């Protein structure tokens, strides 16, 4: 076993998988590289749910040269029949000699069975090479497949003093072009984008990705307890993307019918006067929306944070100070009584996005 060569080929497989982020729906992103006698004879990546997996594309390219070769796969080959046949059987039929797997599949239908099946047939299997990279790349899939709840990434942009708009409500633009372009890529990498009705009423956003990103538009999710969403709002009139509105049971039934007639999906969450956010996450998961980018205002951000429903936080800070006691902030909720109870971020990273600062971290006390 040549560790240096193994890492080289696995890095290629990881890069193939990375290119498909945002295309596979609730499926994982997976890359595969097949090598025989020091030559790459096949490469593949999973491109879309319901289509061939990475191993299938790579084996098809390799043809007869797959026999006796080594397959580098970023995620354990599946062992069950789903929308496509099991990949471990395809590798066995192709008579590969060795399989190097970055990470075990957390899917209960697989969870080590693919690896065991390959070993049953005498194939040499190595597991764990660059596994952290594969696991991080599939963090959305890993949560959804084990909990059936969407992975929620909160993204917000603010000034250094934590304001997402001025005291008059002006928010164009808090951050620069580089940060805004990154946000459109983030949208592409999530299946849904969620905002509160306040954001829609204030800005009338389209909530799609820019044409320059050449991306699939996510489902637009509006938290609107009382169904105040105007029928002329762009998220209603623009049919280029699907729109789902989360409402309370007490919402006006006539408005609900009008929105549904306009093509909007209305989902009732909770029996009170406010949307029950944990129930909303469960229902969105049942709708097979496996990942959500939360771009809410302070109130929705605060409610989601307080409920422990946020998995990842991406904070963009502009090098600006705007002040204003009435200016809206990033998080608006009652807050915790003690500093010890504050939401602590772990695995924190900091990088520049043009002239803006991007801080990324994971709430240590989030719910699963």
| The pLDDT of residue 132 is above 90 | yes
Alpha carbon 19 to its chain centroid, in Å, reads 14
**Which of 131, 258, 269, 97 is closest to 194 using CA atoms?**
269
85 contacts: CB under 8 Å, gap ≥ 6? none
User: ω into residue 173 within 30 of 0, thus cis?
Assistant: yes
Could you say which DSSP state residue 107 is in? -
> What distance in Å separates the CA atoms of residue 107 and residue 78, rounded to the nearest whole number?
9
The whole-angstrom separation of Cα 285 and Cα 44 is: 29
Q: Any residues with CB less than 8 A from the CB of 223 and at least 6 apart, and which?
A: 194, 195, 196, 197, 246, 275, 277, 280, 296, 300
Low-confidence winner among 116-125, 210-219, 222-231 (lowest mean pLDDT): 210-219
Please give the pLDDT value at position 214.
54
Predicted confidence (pLDDT) at residue 226 exceeds the cutoff of 90: yes
Closest CA to 77 of 109, 51, 35, 48: 109
Distances from the Cα of 213 to the Cα of 180, 181, 216, 293, angstroms: 11, 8, 9, 16
Sign of CA dihedral 86, 91, 93, 98: negative
The structure tokens listed for 175 are 């951050």
* pLDDT value of residue 3: 67
Nearest to 193 by CA among 237, 244, 158: 244
Q: Which residue of the set 7, 15, 37, 55 is catalytic?
A: 55
Least confident of 55-59, 206-210, 213-217, 319-323: 213-217
Residue 216, token pair as written in the block? 């699939």
Look at residue 12 and tell me whether its pLDDT is greater than 60: yes
Cα dihedral 246/251/257/258 (nearest 10):
-90
Cβ neighbours of 257 (radius 10 Å): 11
Lowest mean per-residue pLDDT among 80-84, 108-112, 201-205: 80-84
238 CB-near residues (< 8 Å, 6+ apart): 206, 208
CB 267 within 8 A of CB 283: yes
Nearest to 23 by CA among 285, 216, 187, 292: 216
pLDDT, position 84? 66
Is residue 266 classed as helix, strand or coil in its secondary structure?
A: strand
Catalytic residue status for 55: yes
The per-residue pLDDT for 82 is 65
Strand-strand pairing, 291-294 and 243-247: unpaired
Residue 141's nearest CA partner among 191, 66, 198 is 191
Q: What is the pLDDT of residue 138?
A: 96
Inform me whether the pLDDT recorded for 259 exceeds 90. Answer: yes
E strand segments, the chain: 31-36, 39-45, 70-75, 98-103, 124-127, 151-159, 192-196, 219-223, 243-247, 265-268, 291-294, 312-318, 345-353, 356-363
Local confidence band at 354 (pLDDT 50, 70, 90 cut-offs): very high
Average pLDDT over residues 295-319: 95
User: Which pLDDT does position 215 carry in this prediction?
Assistant: 59
Q: What is the pLDDT of residue 338?
A: 93
- Reduced to 3 states (helix: H, G, I; strand: E, B; else coil), residue 111 is coil
CA quadruple 36, 40, 41, 45: dihedral positive or negative? Answer: positive
3-state secondary structure of 148: coil
Instruction: State the pLDDT at residue 41.
Output: 98
Position with higher pLDDT, 37 vs 1:
37
Task: Tell me what pLDDT residue 366 has.
Answer: 57
d(CA 43, CA 48): 16
């Amino acid at each position: 076993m040549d560790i240096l060569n193994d890492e080289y080929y696995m890095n290629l497989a990881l890069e193939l998988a990375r290119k498909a982020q945002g295309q596979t729906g609730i499926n994982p992103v997976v890359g595969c590289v097949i090598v025989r006698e020091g030559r790459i004879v096949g490469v593949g990546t999973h491109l879309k749910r319901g289509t061939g997996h990475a191993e299938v594309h790579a084996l098809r390219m390799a043809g007869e040269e797959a026999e006796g070769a080594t397959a580098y796969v970023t995620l354990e080959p599946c062992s069950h029949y789903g929308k496509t046949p099991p990949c471990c059987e395809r590798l066995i039929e192709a008579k590969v000699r060795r399989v190097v797997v970055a990470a075990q599949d957390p899917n209960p239908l697989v969870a080590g069975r693919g690896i065991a099946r390959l070993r049953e047939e005498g194939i040499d299997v190595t597991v764990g090479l660059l596994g952290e990279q594969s696991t991080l790349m599939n963090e959305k899939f890993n949560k959804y497949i084990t909990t059936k709840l969407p992975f929620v990434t909160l993204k917000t942009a603010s000034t250094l003093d934590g304001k997402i708009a001025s005291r008059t409500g002006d928010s164009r633009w808090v951050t620069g072009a580089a940060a805004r372009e990154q946000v459109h890529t983030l949208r592409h990498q999530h299946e849904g984008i969620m905002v509160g009705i306040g954001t829609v009423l204030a800005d009338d956003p389209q909530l799609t990705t820019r044409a320059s990103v050449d991306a699939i538009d996510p489902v637009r999710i509006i938290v609107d307890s009382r169904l105040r969403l105007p029928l002329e709002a762009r998220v209603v009139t623009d049919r280029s993307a699907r729109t789902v509105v989360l409402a309370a049971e007490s919402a006006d039934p006539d408005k609900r019918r009008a929105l549904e007639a306009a093509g909007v999906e209305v989902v009732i969450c909770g029996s009170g006067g406010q949307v029950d956010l944990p129930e909303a996450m469960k229902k969105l998961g049942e709708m097979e929306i496996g990942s959500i980018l939360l771009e809410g205002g302070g109130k929705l951000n605060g409610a989601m944070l307080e409920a422990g429903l946020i998995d990842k936080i991406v904070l963009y800070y502009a090098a600006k100070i705007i002040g204003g006691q009435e200016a809206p902030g990033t998080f608006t909720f009652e807050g915790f009584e003690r500093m010890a109870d504050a939401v602590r971020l772990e695995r924190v990273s900091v990088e520049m996005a043009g002239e803006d600062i991007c801080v990324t971290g994971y709430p240590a006390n989030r719910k699963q």
